[in-house]
Structure 1
Amino acid sequence: MKNDILKIGNKTFQSRLIVGSGKYKDFQTTFDATLAAQAEIITVAVRRVNITNPNEENLLDYFKGSKIAFLPNSAGCTTAEEAITLFRLTREATGIDFIKLEIIGDTQKTLYPDVLETLKACEVLAKDGFCVLAYSNDDPIMAKHLENAGASAVMPLAAPIGSGLGIQNRYNITFIKEAIKVPLIVDAGVGCASDAAIAMELGADAVLTNTAIAGAQNPILMAEAMRDAVRAGRASYLAGRIPKKPYASASSPTEGLADLKA
């Protein structure tokens, strides 16, 4: 599927698997897992992982010479104002305007996004020239509002962040796919490779996963599994599944059976 290109804003990618950079034991493992996944985008929580201070160990240094795009995210922000300020400072320090907007409303239990603050920030950042990938709940109405506000992609959760529960909202994912024209990237909740395949079979344009890889007993092997699952799920979606039926349907032709019995 060499011509099956993922386009986000004015950027294009061959891989439809986006990986995160948190929870790894060190930057080297982060780098190795990203390469194993053959991902072309890695998202980085600017408040938790250093990419702006050249005087400290910097994740950017590990990726020098690679073609992997950095996607700074605003994890840890709880208001639109905080996220807007963070991204403006990040762009000033790194020149990166390709961002994942993430504003959390419930920081104690669910880590669910505050969609009203997200929408507010999206409007401002898009007008500022940022390519905004907006993390959101699984509401197709909000997804459309984010698209109208200038989001270059909408990233609905499949289950709570880091839960590994898998795709808990299949119908909502398909509703969002029907509602928007920008890419739909399933974000949060993926626990294993089959979850990624299911997301892609539902029509997601890409999958973002962090904990499922970083927290695996063998992160490199899990990264490879996620890579293959996303590819298989995408191919399955493009191929078109057979209709579901409530009864059996013979897989072999039945013509001529009467003649044989005779």
Structure 2
Amino acid sequence: MASLTKPSPHFTPSSLEIEPLTIAGRTFHSRLMTGTGKYSSLEQMQQSIAASECQIVTVAVRRVQTQAPGHEGLAEAIDWTKVWMLPNTAGCKTASEAVRVARLGREMAKLLGQEDNNFVKLEVIPDPKYLLPDPIGTLEAAEQLVREGFAVLPYINADPLLAKRLEEIGCVTVMPLGSPIGSGQGLQNTANIQIIIAESGVPVVVDAGIATPSEAAAAMEMGADALLINSAIALAQNPTNMAKAMGLATVAGRLAHLAGRIPVKTYASASSPLTGTITQLEDSQK
């Protein structure tokens, strides 16, 4: 590893030795997941995914299947030999709908070359205004999908009890929201997210609401294992630059968490030692 005091000319933040993220036995060097929706063009999406250096990209199965506006040709626009597909059940209002769409997502992944991909981002969202996930429907669908052999990544409110229950039934991550999808409100549920992180035995992925790289870094500093960010990148004035910034912030936040911050004090503490100052030297010469 390159020295941080004498950086090599080839040093980049992504070259730092951070342990890989492991989900359902599969490892990823990036702890940032991104989405595919809301971009102005497929080309912009491709550039942003590359700039973020992410390895997991979520795809709305129902919208790709129906060729919804903005999703025409989306599945074919991504090189699935380089990134892992995370099919999601966006648009599903009930548990039964989500289970059906998850099955379609698994077949879609197979058709695109990922034969062993059993991942699904589970979303059950009946609320059209705030897009808050249904905890009862999510738990019901998760139980069924786990029985069918899926690696379930459930999107949930920041509810520590629900997160623990989902872990107990076999979900491979929990994905608490920072704030409502696409709201750009940032981390509004930090107290509960911190409890989930402290009590979880599976990776915690903070999903939704993150708007800026500073918020991404803050989530990782809390101890989150990964982030999923879509709207903040896709709707930025320069999505490619924002994607790069989010990738760097994810790395910085993880490094900060591993490094451990200094204790908070109620008083000042000088950075430089008080011994050997000019005044002390002058006094010793008298």
Residue 260 of structure 1 and its aligned partner are, at CA, apart by 4.1
The yes-or-no answer on 1:195 pairing with 2:239 is no
- The separation in 2 between residues aligned to 1:234 and 1:244, in whole angstroms, is 20
- Conserved in 2, the CA contact under 8 Å of 1:104 and 1:114? yes
Q: State the match for 2:227 in structure 1.
A: 207
Corresponding residue to 2:122 among 80, 89, 101: 101
Residue of structure 2 equivalent to 1:17: 32
* 1:152 counterpart = 2:172: yes
Deviation at 1:15, TM superposition (A): 0.2
Q: Pairwise mapping of residues 19-168 of structure 1 onto structure 2 (< 5 A)?
A: 19-50=34-65, 57-64=72-79, 66-95=81-110, 96-108=117-129, 110-168=130-188
* Paired residues of 2:61 and 2:104 also in contact (CA < 8 A): no
Once residues 30 and 256 of structure 2 are traced to their aligned partners in structure 1, the CA distance between those partners, rounded to angstroms, is 16
Distance 1:67 1:252 in 2: 48
Deviation at 1:58, TM superposition (A): 2.6
State how far apart, in whole Å, the 1-side matches of 2:94 and 2:142 are. 12
Counterparts in 2 of 1:15 and 1:88: CA distance versus 1, 3 Å: same
Q: Secondary structure of 1:153's match?
A: coil
Alignment match of 1:179 (pick from 199, 206, 210): 199
Task: Quote how far apart the aligned CAs of 1:45 are.
Answer: 1.1
Q: Look up the match of 2:257.
A: 237
**Does structure 2 retain, via aligned residues, the 8 Å contact 1:144–1:180?**
yes
Alpha-carbon distance in structure 1 between the residues aligned to 2:246 and 2:33:
10
1:173-196 CA distance string (max 9 Å, x none): 111011111000000001011111
- Within 2, Cα distance between the matches of 1:225 and 1:50? 31
After the TM superposition, which residues 242-257 of structure 1 pair with which residues of structure 2 at under 5 Å, given as runs?
242-255=262-275
Larger radius of gyration: 2
CA gap 1:225/1:93 in 2 versus in 1, 3 angstroms: closer
Moved more, 120-129 or 83-92: 83-92
TM, length-normalised to structure 1: 0.93
Paired position in structure 2 for 1:218: 238
| TM-fit CA distance, 1:247 | 1.7
RMSD, aligned CA? 2.0
Q: Distance in 2 between matches of 1:193 and 1:51?
A: 33
Matched residues, number: 259
* Equivalent position SS for 1:49: helix
Structure 2, unaligned stretches of length 5 or more?
Answer: 1-15, 111-116
Distance 2:172 2:36 in 1: 22
Question: Deviations for 1:117-137, whole angstroms, at most 9, x for unmatched residues?
Answer: 101111110111111111001
Contact 2:88–2:105 (CA under 8 A) maintained in structure 1: no
The answer on whether the counterparts of 1:73 and 1:100 sit within 8 Å (CA) in structure 2 is: yes
Contact preservation (8 Å) 2:155, 2:207: yes
